[in-house]
Amino acid sequence: MSNCVRCGRELPGFSFGKKICQWCVQHEAEQRGEVAEDARQAVMPTPWVRRSAPTIGVTHVIFGINAAVFLGMVLATSSVMGFTGPDLVHWGANLGPYTLSGEWWRLLTSVFVHGGIIHIGFNMWCLWNLGALCEVLYGPWAYLAIYLLCGVGGSLGSVIWNPRVLSVGASGAIFGLAGALLAAFKLGEFSAPRAALSGTLRSVGAFVVYNLIFGAAISGVDNAAHIGGLITGLILGALIALFAPRHEHPPRRALIFLLLTLALAAVAAGVAHYHGLPFRIGMSPFRGSR
């Protein structure tokens, strides 16, 4: 079922070739002076406005988890500006020898670990802005699944490109949110008018380009995680827009998330095989050699 290109309202079934809803047709005719002054414009709810906003959203929960982990690390290490490599590994950092040899949970835990106050401050600022928009468009549970899967995709990208380099931070997941938003806007399947989103999504595109350039120019920035998360988000956003654009399609969305989870697992198994390691789940045999 297609949407009106003017306002985003859902068009009735079998609207072949029609891209504008009756409300917009009448509204534009009225603006041109082609409708009698006493003609009554039908009252229809705007589909892009949330009817009820929960007090605590998924973005707040994710923000709180990141803040709680960071606070725990500060209390455990008495450091704020930066943490040592062993400390980051202890708290769940992504490191190829450990991750690829069985500690696959690091692909996800590393998304909630940050290297210092500046690192987490910048990432949480980006999350607060992109997450709010993504949560409105996709709904809370789909948004959470996108965030987590993009975080894993970003961590996998880091392991593939830099298997012996420590990787932490939410930036891969945040780039994934940007990718999902860009794909959704490009394919135009969400109930939101282009005028309401175009400015914000131009900013999203600028955010992606600027940070990729910045990451390539500055040493210590894990651009592989950014790219991995971005690609995962673009794929998820495109699949949802094409096959499950409406919030009323939870089974289709669940299937998309399941298929992508299996695809990421297959990529992880392939990377482990490439490095001559059997695909296993458990404590890394390298841990004893720390």
**CATH number (domain holding residue 78):** 1.20.1540.10
8 Å CB contact between 110 and 94: yes
- Residues above pLDDT 70, as percent of the chain: 74
pLDDT of residue 184: 84
105 domain residue, yes or no:
yes
- Comparing 217 with 195, the larger pLDDT belongs to 217
Confidence of residue 286 (pLDDT cuts 50, 70, 90): low
pLDDT of residue 182: 87
- Residues above pLDDT 90, as percent of the chain: 43
213 domain residue, yes or no:
yes
Structural domain boundaries enclosing 188: 58-281
pLDDT of residue 10: 63
8 Å CB contact between 257 and 149: yes
191 domain residue, yes or no:
yes
46 domain residue, yes or no:
no
Distances (CA, A) of 95 to 98, 110, 124, 267, 276: 6, 9, 23, 16, 16
Lowest mean pLDDT among 6-10, 89-93, 151-155, 255-259: 6-10
Residues with Cβ within 8 Å of residue 197, at least 6 apart in sequence: 185
Active site residues: 171, 226
Lowest mean pLDDT among 127-141, 158-172, 187-201: 187-201
65 domain residue, yes or no:
yes
Q: For the chain, report the end-to-end CA distance as a whole number of angstroms.
A: 56
Q: How many domains does the chain have?
A: 1
- Comparing 287 with 241, the larger pLDDT belongs to 241
The Cα 290–Cα 287 span in angstroms is 6
Assess whether pLDDT exceeds 80 at residue 16. no
Q: pTM here?
A: 0.78
8 Å CB contact between 4 and 21: yes
Question: What number of residues does the chain have?
Answer: 290
pLDDT of residue 55: 73
The Cα 100–Cα 116 span in angstroms is 25
pLDDT of residue 278: 73
Assess whether pLDDT exceeds 70 at residue 90. yes
Confidence of residue 258 (pLDDT cuts 50, 70, 90): very high
177 domain residue, yes or no:
yes
Q: Which two tokens stand for residue 264?
A: 């990421």
pLDDT of residue 80: 86
Write out pLDDT tens, residues 26-70. 777 776 777 666 666 555 555 545 455 557 899 999 999 999 999
11 domain residue, yes or no:
no
Range picked from 41-50, 165-174, 214-223 for highest mean pLDDT: 165-174
Lowest mean pLDDT among 120-129, 211-220, 257-266: 211-220
pLDDT of residue 240: 92
188 domain residue, yes or no:
yes
